[in-house]
């Protein structure tokens, strides 16, 4: 392809490296592999207008002009990794979302507590995203992954990861802004819907911590009571992240 933005050209390179067959017109890219076809419609400025994946599933997955996170979704479909995992200096694997260890860190694996170490059967990023079938929930999740990736560019205060995925199918995705110890919230999948729950039900000094108050209010709950999982429908991922980051700082102070 002789013309195109850096994003579009890089996407083609990634697709070819991942084994996809590629066909191009001025406003359409089509990628095919193993009975699956990904079709991308572009605007005159090479922004993604729509994104469709078809084949090997009961119905097509379509992201239209109003759907956020289309660029990240395309990279996930083509590589099996979120863009955050594909960026230089980061690795996505089952379980924790981590950067490559320094020599000192590699010699001290006990720095990560046992319950947060990757294990067989944990969700991967791609598996978790694919399990979220509701389009609104998926758009929320993709934006949240973008925010986690942006946060991962900044210095960690404790852990060297931002996301931890539990064991399929019931395990949750825990979010750790700035790698702080106590996750403000976690996300799970229920019948294709993305669910969010606050982290104030953990044992020890974090249980019922007043710092969870703003998040509990956002979810219509009380941090002194149970932490019920509710749908992300109607929530803004940027606002949720902002509140979660503030809660994280408050409870980990």
Task: Read off the CATH number of the domain in which 4 is found.
Answer: 3.30.310
Question: CB–CB of 149/87 below 8 Å?
Answer: yes
79, 102, 131 - which closes a domain: 79
Domain that holds residue 66: 1-79
Do 114 and 53 fall into the same domain? Answer: no
Number of domains in the chain: 2
Residue count of the chain:
253
Name the DSSP class of 122.
Answer: B
Question: CB–CB of 25/37 below 8 Å?
Answer: no
CA atoms lying within 13 Å on the CB side of residue 67: 23
Identify whether 88 is part of a domain: no
What confidence score (pLDDT) does residue 230 get?
Answer: 97
Do 116 and 26 fall into the same domain? Answer: no
Do 98 and 206 fall into the same domain? Answer: yes
Q: Give every CB contact of residue 143 below 8 A, 6+ residues apart in sequence.
A: 68, 69, 237, 238
What confidence score (pLDDT) does residue 17 get?
Answer: 82
Mind listing the pLDDT tens digit of every residue in the chain (253 residues)?
445 567 788 888 888 888 899 998 888 999 998 888 999 998 888 889 999 988 866 567 788 887 767 887 788 788 765 444 333 333 343 344 444 444 444 445 446 667 777 778 888 888 899 999 998 999 999 999 989 988 888 888 888 788 989 898 889 999 999 989 899 999 999 999 999 999 998 867 889 999 999 999 999 999 999 999 999 999 999 999 999 999 999 999 8
Do 122 and 69 fall into the same domain? Answer: no
Do 211 and 242 fall into the same domain? Answer: yes
Do 141 and 37 fall into the same domain? Answer: no
23, 55, 79 - which closes a domain: 79
Tokens of 27: 């406003």
């Amino acid at each position: 392809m002789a013309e195109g933005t850096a994003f579009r050209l890089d996407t083609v390179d990634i697709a070819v490296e991942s084994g996809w067959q590629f066909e191009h017109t001025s406003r359409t890219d089509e990628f095919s592999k193993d009975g699956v076809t990904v079709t991308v419609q572009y605007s005159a400025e090479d922004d993604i207008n729509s994104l469709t994946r078809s084949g090997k599933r009961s119905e097509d997955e379509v992201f239209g002009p109003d759907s956020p996170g289309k660029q990240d979704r395309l990279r996930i479909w083509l590589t099996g990794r979120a863009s955050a995992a594909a960026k230089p200096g980061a690795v996505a694997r089952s379980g924790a979302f981590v950067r490559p260890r320094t020599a000192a860190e590699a010699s001290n694996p006990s720095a990560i507590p046992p319950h947060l170490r990757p294990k067989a059967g944990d969700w991967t990023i791609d598996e978790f995203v694919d399990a979220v079938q509701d389009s609104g929930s998926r758009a929320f999740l993709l934006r949240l992954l973008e925010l986690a990736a942006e946060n991962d560019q900044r210095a960690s205060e404790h852990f060297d990861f931002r996301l931890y995925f539990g064991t399929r199918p019931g395990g949750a995705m825990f979010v750790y802004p700035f790698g702080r110890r106590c996750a403000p919230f976690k996300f799970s999948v229920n019948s294709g819907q993305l669910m969010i729950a606050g982290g104030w039900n953990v044992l020890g000094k974090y249980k019922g911590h007043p710092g969870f108050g703003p998040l509990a209010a956002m979810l219509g709950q009380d941090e002194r009571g149970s932490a019920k999982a509710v749908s992300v429908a109607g929530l803004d991922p940027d606002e949720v992240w902002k509140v979660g980051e503030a809660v994280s700082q408050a409870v980990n102070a």
